[in-house]
């Protein structure tokens, strides 16, 4: 029976779906470091992780039997995607499933910071009745600046405008503005105009250190700051200094450069204890609805890939989906050079087989073709396909109904 390993407390629906697809599933609550992961992957065909487990080139090279990795989250920067593609390991993520959860947390934190609810809550818990409107504002009519206008940033734009906010955004790519949102020509322009700045950028290496002392200094005095994207994009020492100086009136941070590996571990940050600062333990997408949908979506992609060879929405392989059924199916991941498909089809024809259906797609240096044939695939055909100098991985599938 093929095996699947799920780490970091992935929703049980993933276990159910993969079990029903014929996998023996082991599910662990915490993340694993490189050495422990390498040891745990012996005999494993599918790996499921969230954001803390690092899937490195060394781990991938040690386990050629690993077929696919599912990132049960949005980001995939914790996986060496180039090494995975070179090893023929498909990677899938959940780019949409927790979008709404992150957006709702951002809206809740913007309102909480504007109303200084954190300070009011702490005062009452300490036994002090501090009923005052000082420093408390509505968000209606105020200007929100969104850095990163992808799935999360654009949806936040719509909800913020519905609440009466003016919305500015900045993105490295040319994005269509939704509603009345206005694109800024530079990050500096956004920082100088917005009263609340929220980061929703991806985990690419180029975003490391994106927001530091210079950017905080450019923000309007007494503005608000949120980061629900990646911990390494913000200089927390610089944020602390600008909060203590009063330049930044409040902040909400959900992600950190160094995060505890497991539930209950100690947490340390220079932002702890600051006035009007909300710290949450990377829970932007951690609602029951989002985690269920992520588990269902990614497990479904993994099962579909291993059952049919479908790579739709893979983040590192060409996207292919072949519908229909035939006597047998195989998928050939190969280096993208001329003539591979012709040679593969010639090998099939030499053994008296006919192609019933075939779909090819390319992506950079890789090509991926899924082929249905009208009879059983002889071992000699499979050996010849594997022997092609361009072959990266050949996968066969059970006889189709």
Q: How far apart are CA 195 and CA 192, in angstroms?
A: 8
Where do we find the tokens 């050495």?
35
62: its two tokens:
């040690």
Secondary structure of residue 375 in the 3-state scheme: coil
- Evaluate whether 349 touches 343 at the Cβ level (below 8 Å): no
Which string of b and e fits 300-334 if b means at least 16 CB within 10 Å? bbbbbbbebbbbebbbbbbebebeeebebbbbbbb
**Which residue, among 328, 312, 332, 308, has the nearest Cα to 320 in the 3D structure?**
312
Ramachandran region, residue 141 (left: φ > 0; alpha: ψ -120 to 50; beta: rest): left
26 among known catalytic residues:
no
189 among known catalytic residues:
no
Of 45, 50, 166, 230, catalytic:
230
Q: How far apart are CA 303 and CA 19, in angstroms?
A: 10
Of 50, 100, 242, 282, catalytic:
282
Of 16, 24, 161, 259, catalytic:
259
The phi, psi pair for 213, rounded to 5°, reads -55, -40
16 among known catalytic residues:
no
* Bridge partner residues of 169 (DSSP): 146, 183
Catalytic residues: 230, 259, 282
């Amino acid at each position: 029976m093929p095996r699947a390993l799920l780490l970091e407390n992935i929703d049980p629906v993933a276990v159910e779906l993969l079990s029903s697809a014929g996998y023996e599933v082991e599910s662990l609550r915490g993340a694993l470091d490189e050495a422990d992961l390498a040891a745990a992957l012996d005999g494993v065909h599918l790996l499921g992780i969230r954001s803390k487990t690092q899937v490195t080139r060394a781990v991938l090279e040690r386990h050629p039997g690993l077929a696919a990795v599912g990132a049960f989250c949005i980001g995939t920067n914790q996986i060496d995607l180039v090494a995975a593609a070179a090893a023929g390991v498909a990677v899938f993520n959940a780019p949409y499933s927790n979008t709404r959860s992150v957006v709702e947390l951002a809206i809740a934190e913007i309102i909480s910071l504007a109303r200084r609810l954190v300070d009011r809550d702490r005062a009452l818990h300490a036994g002090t009745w501090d009923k005052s409107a000082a420093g408390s504002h509505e968000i209606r009519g105020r200007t929100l600046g969104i850095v990163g206008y992808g799935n999360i940033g654009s949806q936040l734009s719509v909800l913020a405008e519905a609440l009466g906010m003016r919305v500015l955004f900045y993105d490295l790519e040319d994005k269509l503005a939704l509603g009345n949102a206005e694109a800024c020509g530079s990050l500096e322009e956004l920082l100088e105009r917005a009263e609340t700045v929220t980061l929703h950028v991806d985990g690419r290496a180029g975003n490391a250190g994106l927001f530091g002392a210079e950017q905080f200094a450019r923000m309007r005095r007494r503005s608000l700051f949120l980061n629900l994207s990646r911990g390494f994009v913000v200089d927390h020492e610089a944020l602390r200094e600008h909060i203590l100086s009063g330049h930044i009136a409040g902040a909400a941070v959900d992600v950190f450069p160094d995060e505890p590996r497991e539930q209950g571990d100690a947490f340390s940050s220079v932002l702890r204890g600051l006035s009007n600062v909300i710290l949450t333990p990377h829970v932007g997408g951690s609602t029951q609805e989002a985690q269920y949908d992520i588990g269902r979506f990614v497990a479904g992609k993994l099962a579909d890939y291993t059952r049919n060879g479908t790579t739709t929405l893979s983040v590192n392989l060409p996207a292919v989906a072949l519908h229909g059924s035939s006597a047998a199916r195989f998928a050939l991941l190969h280096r993208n050079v001329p003539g591979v498909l012709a040679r593969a089809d010639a090998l099939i024809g030499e053994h008296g087989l006919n192609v019933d259906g075939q779909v090819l797609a390319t992506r950079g240096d890789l090509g991926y073709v899924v082929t249905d044939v009208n009879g059983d695939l002889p071992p000699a055909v499979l050996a010849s396909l594997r022997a092609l100098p361009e072959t990266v991985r050949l996968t066969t599938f059970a006889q189709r109904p």
